[in-house]
């Protein structure tokens, strides 16, 4: 078998493939970042199953978490599949199913409310409204661009992502706030959350703006990132409905198992549940 050499042109073709597959912007960026790291580690050596497994061993030695390693393996495996190099695919690390979420990473409702209030107190009204929009609608950060003046007027938004279209209802109070903000910003149609130059806000900008208000809100930075607002929405929605199938539809999940990950309790809650069993005399 001829040597399998990883050329930059192959990475560029993979990037185009991900775009055509309508992968989210975050997924595209992560996959390309991980494939680039793999290429840098290879340092010009031909690709083989042995080299691919050695790279996984290198990640283990560098003390990457198992979840992070598997996410990087997923990216490189997708690249191998795209190129037809299926014989080089890497096996994932086996991880015990997670029973509860770390308290240090779980954003609570009071913390979320402090973030919104901090943004408003600092005069960052766009950010405060953005936090409320992501959380109240359970959006992915890549879906913020679908929040338009037209959607706010209709009270609903159609989101097309990953080859699927799903309809999300927007709370009436949120719609009023969105339209009020759009009017003040003189946005008559189209996207509401725009930069000063009129472009869509990207993931990095939203992430950075959220991190910038952590101290003012007295919320640990480890809890403050866009996807955690979606997790908070999922937990509160489930507490109100107790319908995991409906929640999966709202979130746009193909598998309920994905949705269940969002509903993990904290270790502290898990401990209280164990105490209530009263199995120690």
d(CA 179, CA 207): 24
Q: Find the DSSP H helices in the chain.
A: 8-20, 25-42, 49-61, 66-83, 109-121, 125-137, 149-154, 172-184, 203-212, 214-217, 226-241, 244-251, 256-262, 267-277
Whether 233 and 135 have beta carbons less than 8 Å apart is answered as: yes
Q: In this structure, what are the phi and psi dihedrals at residue 98, rounded to the nearest 5 degrees?
A: -70, 130
Residues 34/59, Cβ–Cβ less than 8 Å? no
Work out the number of other CB atoms within 10 angstroms of the CB of residue 215. 10
Torsion of CA 78, 80, 81, 84, to 10 degrees: 160
Looking at the whole model, is its pTM more than 0.75? no
pLDDT of residue 7: 92
- Helices 49-61/25-42 angle, 10° precision: 100
Tokens of 64: 């990457």
Left (φ > 0), alpha (ψ -120 to 50) or beta: where does 224 sit? beta
Three-state DSSP state, 200: strand
Q: What is the reported pLDDT for 24?
A: 80
Instruction: Identify the CA nearest to 241 among candidates 222, 223, 259, 215.
Output: 259
**pLDDT tens digits for 44-72?**
999 999 999 999 999 999 999 888 999 99
pLDDT given at position 99: 61
Regions of the chain short of the pLDDT cut 50: 1
Angstrom CA distances, 35 to 41, 203, 273, stand at: 10, 20, 42
Q: What is the pLDDT of residue 1?
A: 47
Nearest to 225 by CA among 143, 129, 107: 107
Instruction: Return the SS3 of 202.
Output: coil
Quote the DSSP letter at residue 4.
Answer: B
Sign of CA dihedral 43, 49, 54, 57: positive
Map residue 183 onto helix, strand or coil. Answer: helix
pLDDT of residue 98: 63
Q: What is the pLDDT of residues 12-32, one digit of tens each?
A: 999 999 999 888 888 899 999
pLDDT on residue 106: 87
Measured CA distances, 246 to 41, 142, 156, 249, 256 (Å): 44, 22, 17, 5, 10
């Amino acid at each position: 078998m001829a040597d399998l050499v990883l050329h930059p042109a192959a990475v560029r073709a993979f990037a185009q493939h991900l775009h055509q597959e309508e992968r989210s912007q975050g997924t595209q960026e992560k996959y390309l970042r991980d494939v680039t790291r793999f290429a840098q580690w290879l340092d010009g050596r031909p690709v083989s199953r042995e080299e691919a497994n050695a790279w996984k061993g290198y990640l283990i030695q560098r003390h990457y978490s198992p979840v992070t390693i598997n996410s990087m393996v997923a990216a490189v495996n997708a690249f191998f599949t795209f190129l037809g190099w299926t014989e080089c695919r890497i096996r994932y690390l086996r991880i015990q199913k997670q029973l509860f979420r770390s308290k240090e990473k779980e954003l609570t409702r009071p913390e979320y409310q402090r973030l919104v209030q901090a943004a408003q107190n600092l005069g960052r009204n766009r950010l405060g409204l953005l936090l409320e929009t992501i959380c109240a609608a359970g959006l992915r950060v890549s879906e913020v661009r679908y929040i338009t003046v037209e959607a706010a007027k209709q009270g609903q938004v159609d989101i097309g992502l990953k080859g699927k279209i799903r309809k999300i209802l927007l709370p009436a109070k949120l719609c009023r706030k969105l339209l009020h903000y759009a009017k003040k910003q003189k946005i008559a149609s189209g996207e509401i959350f725009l930069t000063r130059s009129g472009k869509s806000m990207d993931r990095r900008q939203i992430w950075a703006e959220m991190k910038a208000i952590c101290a003012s809100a007295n919320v640990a930075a480890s809890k403050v990132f866009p996807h955690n607002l979606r997790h908070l929405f999922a937990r509160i929605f489930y507490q109100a409905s107790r319908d995991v199938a409906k929640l999966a539809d709202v979130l746009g999940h193909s598998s309920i198992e994905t949705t269940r990950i969002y509903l993990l309790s904290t270790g502290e809650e898990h401990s209280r549940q164990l105490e209530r069993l009263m199995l120690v005399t």
